Structure 1
Amino acid sequence: MVYAISLSAEELDDIDWQLQLDQFMGKTMGSSMRPRDLSPQVTLVFARIRPASGTADPAYQLRWLGVVKHPKGRKIATRDALIRVEPLWRSPARVELAAVTASLSREDAAELTSMLSSEVAVLPDELGQCLVAALRGLGPRFAELLDHLTSVANQAPFDSSRVEDRSWQEQYDSARLALTIGEFPLAPLSAWLRPPSRHDTYLAGLIPEPTEQSLIEHDAAHSMPGPRLLRPWDGPDFRCDIHVFEHEGRYIEVANVNATPVEGRLGSDLIYYHEATGSFVMVQYKRLPSIERWVYVDDRLRDQLDRLEAVAQASRQPHAPHDWRLGSDPCFLKLAYWPEDSQADPGGPAAGMYLPLSYVRLLLQDDCTLGPNGGRRLGYSYADRHLINSQFVELVKHGLAGTVGTSREELLALGSERALEGYSVTIAAELGDGRLPGETVRERQRRAHSRKAGKRQAKKRAPATPSKVGKSKPALLGDQMSFFEPDERSPG
């Protein structure tokens, strides 16, 4: 089964640069179009070109290819759902529909043309297979890209009954949260296969992007060799995987580190470090049960809070304007919630409540967290106020939360310490010290203020970073041959 999305050429041209930046698109689909098979599906995005004559039928041109990983989508109205195509790749060449229908039967070609008159169509299995086979026949670059997208579509979903899957899910969410803060596309994290060992990190399972395609058509965000700030953790007990991502001339290094078998891990941490300001925030994950949506505050959690207090002591007194913070809390608990319905698409970091450490202390001294038997609880019904994803991201993105004056050496030492204590640690370091590639403090603020709540407007301008390979006008095959914000409401 294949999804086909058809938009006017004018609409696709208007959002072309934004699609290239974001590497995903959202599309509303009527509930009657929802397929019975809710497994991930390869998706083809066509431009509908109006004919010069008002009486002729429109022409169609393949522009983008991607994957709908959650065909159920997110309900946005009584009869509508929003599907998300991610990852989204530009077609190696603009393909006229005639270039592929020539290899289809007359009946299949007519059915495909008819179905493209709708903005969203679910192609029958046989027709979808024939269409994909025809695209593969256009050359090795199409075959390589379709192999990559098929691998993404066929990856197994997380199984919350397995301890290793829960750990990978939290590592995945940590990396998505870090890239969201830095305004990096999330698509490179979504292509994943189960690693060989259940004790491996999430990053060990990332599927490499098509090499040639990455260099020629997909230079907005791709893995880069050679981390500069992070380095592999030495020692027989450490498992470490590091990936470097680039976007608009900015770089972020993301590492997954652990030093214990998966059964013995105490939880997951995210340490997000901004090099230009020497500042980090730390998020410790606590998984909310899918039904109760609260956790007991036991001795182990209280001990973990004490350890977070010690981590917060790494911060120094502010000495420059960019050192100022709203408060003295660099450490947060994230009570994260994953619905049992694995087909639901979060569209970003998992839903959850972010609680600053000092706020947690106040909650645990108040009657609001008392359970019926006198114990303490944390959860949606036990805290009147909390931060959601978008609020937390904005605080960190604007430099309003985090430590002051943390060095690279202190960051690496903290990562080692947390891993040896039994945590699965994700360290994300956004580069930029004013001398090497990356943002200065002023550039960060200018970017943060220019993208209110992440709702960017497409800008028709040249990329900030030149392509690794010279770009020309997209090739055209055929003439010569014949995007949403996650729902962050508290789960009810």
Structure 2
Amino acid sequence: MAFIVTLSASELKANLDKFRIEQRLTKSRPKSLSIDAALDGPPIALLIAEEPTRPGRERSRWLAWIGIVARHGTVGAVEKSITVDPLRECADAVPLDGPGGILQDIPAVLREEFDSASLPGSVGACSNAVWQSLESALRAARPELGPLLDWLIAQSDPPVFGSSPADQSWQEQRDATGNLLRMADFPLSALAAWRRPLSEDEPYTAGLIPQPVEHSLIDYDVRVAGEAFGMFSEWQHGNAFRCDIHVLRDASGRQLEVVNVNATPVESRLGTDMLYYHEPTRSFVFVQYKRLDPDTRSIYVDNRLRRQLDRMEETAKLSSLPAQPSEWRLGNDPCFLKLAYWPKNSEKRPIQELAPGMYLPVSYIRLLLDDECTRGKRKNSEARILGYEQVERHLTGTQFIDLVKHGLVGTVGTTREQLHALVKQRVSAGHSVVVGTEFSEESVRVRQTRTRDRGAKRRAYLHRTYKQNPTA
């Protein structure tokens, strides 16, 4: 279906700067507008503007912005709301009415339904049949909107992952990319438009659809690849490794390079690792994913997991002692397990969300495994279990990400060369690795100010991809 938000030309002009900064919109809708039973097709949102109607003249409307309805919830007893996120501006306004308007290219009965749903100052909804006809007219009249429509529609129809090894691996890698985006303060929608790769052995990022170039950022020179391309360039060719690199850059010049690499067929892959490296402070955090049983929300601790904990403790030794206040950390744990679970038959969501789970530092896990709280329930059992019933305290996703963003956890003084060696070691051991490297000229104070700022932030960014050579 399509939601239609109709604003007056003056109202759109008054809110233009706000829309361009936030790239999202929350708008109340009449409580009488029943949409739950009519949610067929992608939840597209069309923001149209209208000139004041004059006697004897037909309506004059144009399409100004297009987005995806991320959610619709209750505001109060009288009204409800919709939240459009992401919301993107059409490079050129698209006339709807008159001889040159695209509404003339759709059947009369569908045009009448659209008119009824686009009342001035309100939020309306029309059927998927209207949207499909309108989409065809849009693509024919404005081919330049095609990439934007593809990007939005891919987010509106998120993947439903099954229980196959490939789906579970992609599910974990998808969650890792979402973690990296939040740590680096980029919108989740940046890496949410996805279609299944041709091969099940491909990294998750091989299926990403990049956002079309933001006009506000088009002057940035991205012809020269970032640091990751020198670090991982040998993985861009040949069959030993499968590697894709995505580069995001915001209006301030901060850059996040996301590298997704594996060298193992999906059937024999051991799991997913995530690393976030903040280049200005030479600090990284390491997260290894473990899937909890969705029913018991727990996992048995076997010898392989204990060996993995040993290796994570060795990884922690890459850190140096802090020599200045900005290098102080809450503890000596840069390595964590994410015990994650994906509920069965979970609802499809148009914007990527992080999987629920608990983040546990290695030293805490050691204490847990020596405590009676993790012992199996059978009498004299030597089995150890980690899960929600056994672990009374843990870091949530929001808590963990906030600690990383404030530089309160992670290594001290580690180099990119050490990071590269660690990634190569993990990939060679059979893990799929998602590594994000953030580059910035921010001072410690500026980073803290940006992280603490709860106001509206400019969400524009530039997205470039560098995929593995398919002929290599």
Q: TM-score, normalised by structure 2?
A: 0.82
Do the aligned partners of residues 340 and 82 (structure 1) sit closer, same or farther apart at CA in structure 2, a change above 3 Å counting?
A: farther
User: How many angstroms apart in 1 are the aligned matches of 2:123 and 2:438?
Assistant: 38
Q: How does 1:203-214 map to 2 (within 5 A)?
A: 203-210=205-212, 214=213
User: Secondary structure in 1 aligned to 2:329?
Assistant: coil
Do the aligned partners of residues 127 and 40 (structure 1) sit closer, same or farther apart at CA in structure 2, a change above 3 Å counting?
A: closer
Do the aligned partners of residues 143 and 402 (structure 1) sit closer, same or farther apart at CA in structure 2, a change above 3 Å counting?
A: closer
User: Secondary structure in 2 aligned to 1:200?
Assistant: coil
Q: Residue 67 of structure 1 corresponds to which residue in structure 2? A: 68
Q: Residue 90 of structure 1 corresponds to which residue in structure 2? A: 89
Letter of the structure 2 residue corresponding to residue 358 of structure 1:
S
Q: Residue 366 of structure 1 corresponds to which residue in structure 2? A: 371
Do the aligned partners of residues 148 and 404 (structure 1) sit closer, same or farther apart at CA in structure 2, a change above 3 Å counting?
A: closer
Q: How does 1:128-143 map to 2 (within 5 A)?
A: 128-143=131-146
Q: Residue 478 of structure 1 corresponds to which residue in structure 2? A: none
Q: Residue 296 of structure 1 corresponds to which residue in structure 2? A: 300
User: Secondary structure in 2 aligned to 1:457?
Assistant: coil
Q: Residue 32 of structure 1 corresponds to which residue in structure 2? A: 34
Q: Residue 187 of structure 1 corresponds to which residue in structure 2? A: 189
Do the aligned partners of residues 162 and 16 (structure 1) sit closer, same or farther apart at CA in structure 2, a change above 3 Å counting?
A: farther
User: Secondary structure in 1 aligned to 2:191?
Assistant: helix
Is 1:319 the counterpart of 2:318? The answer is no
Q: TM-score, normalised by structure 1?
A: 0.79
Is 1:443 the counterpart of 2:446? The answer is yes
Q: How does 1:319-338 map to 2 (within 5 A)?
A: 319-338=323-342
Residue 270 of structure 2, aligned match among 245, 266, 272: 266
Q: Residue 225 of structure 2 corresponds to which residue in structure 1? A: 226
CA-CA distance at 1:396 after TM superposition: 0.6
User: How many angstroms apart in 2 are the aligned matches of 1:465 and 1:198?
Assistant: 30
Q: Residue 420 of structure 2 corresponds to which residue in structure 1? A: 412
User: Secondary structure in 2 aligned to 1:368?
Assistant: helix
User: Secondary structure in 2 aligned to 1:381?
Assistant: coil
Do the aligned partners of residues 272 and 77 (structure 1) sit closer, same or farther apart at CA in structure 2, a change above 3 Å counting?
A: farther
Do the aligned partners of residues 34 and 162 (structure 1) sit closer, same or farther apart at CA in structure 2, a change above 3 Å counting?
A: same
Is 1:355 the counterpart of 2:357? The answer is no
- Contact 2:113/2:126 (<8 A) preserved: no
CA-CA distance at 1:180 after TM superposition: 0.8
| Cα deviations by residue, 1:436-467 (Å, 9 ceiling, x for unpaired) | xx433333223223x2xxx33268xxx9999x
Do the aligned partners of residues 158 and 125 (structure 1) sit closer, same or farther apart at CA in structure 2, a change above 3 Å counting?
A: closer
| Cα deviations by residue, 1:314-367 (Å, 9 ceiling, x for unpaired) | 111001121111111111111122222343437532222111221212222222
Moved more, 84-93 or 401-410: 84-93
User: How many angstroms apart in 1 are the aligned matches of 2:310 and 2:75?
Assistant: 42
User: How many angstroms apart in 2 are the aligned matches of 1:75 and 1:270?
Assistant: 36
Aligned residues: 446
CA-CA distance at 1:148 after TM superposition: 4.3
Residue 162 of structure 1, aligned match among 153, 161, 164: 164
User: Secondary structure in 2 aligned to 1:372?
Assistant: coil
Q: Residue 433 of structure 2 corresponds to which residue in structure 1? A: 425
User: Secondary structure in 2 aligned to 1:32?
Assistant: coil
Q: Residue 386 of structure 1 corresponds to which residue in structure 2? A: 394
CA-CA distance at 1:260 after TM superposition: 1.2
Unaligned runs of 5+ in 1: 433-437, 467-492
CA-CA distance at 1:82 after TM superposition: 7.4
| Cα deviations by residue, 1:6-52 (Å, 9 ceiling, x for unpaired) | 45667766665554455555567769312455653433223466x48
- Contact 2:21/2:460 (<8 A) preserved: no
Identity, in percent, stands at 41
Letter of the structure 2 residue corresponding to residue 273 of structure 1:
Y
Residue 280 of structure 1, aligned match among 261, 274, 284: 284
- Contact 1:223/1:244 (<8 A) preserved: no
User: How many angstroms apart in 2 are the aligned matches of 1:367 and 1:131?
Assistant: 63
User: Secondary structure in 2 aligned to 1:341?
Assistant: coil
Letter of the structure 2 residue corresponding to residue 277 of structure 1:
T
Unaligned runs of 5+ in 2: 463-472
User: How many angstroms apart in 2 are the aligned matches of 1:78 and 1:223?
Assistant: 49
Letter of the structure 2 residue corresponding to residue 413 of structure 1:
A
Q: Residue 198 of structure 1 corresponds to which residue in structure 2? A: 200
CA-CA distance at 1:429 after TM superposition: 0.3
Do the aligned partners of residues 85 and 231 (structure 1) sit closer, same or farther apart at CA in structure 2, a change above 3 Å counting?
A: farther
Q: Residue 256 of structure 2 corresponds to which residue in structure 1? A: 252
Letter of the structure 1 residue corresponding to residue 225 of structure 2:
G
Letter of the structure 2 residue corresponding to residue 132 of structure 1:
E
Letter of the structure 2 residue corresponding to residue 3 of structure 1:
F
Q: Residue 2 of structure 1 corresponds to which residue in structure 2? A: 2
User: How many angstroms apart in 2 are the aligned matches of 1:139 and 1:258?
Assistant: 39
CA-CA distance at 1:399 after TM superposition: 0.5
Letter of the structure 2 residue corresponding to residue 340 of structure 1:
K
Aligned-residue RMSD, C-alpha = 3.5
| Cα deviations by residue, 1:267-319 (Å, 9 ceiling, x for unpaired) | 11110000000000111111222222111122222221111111111111001
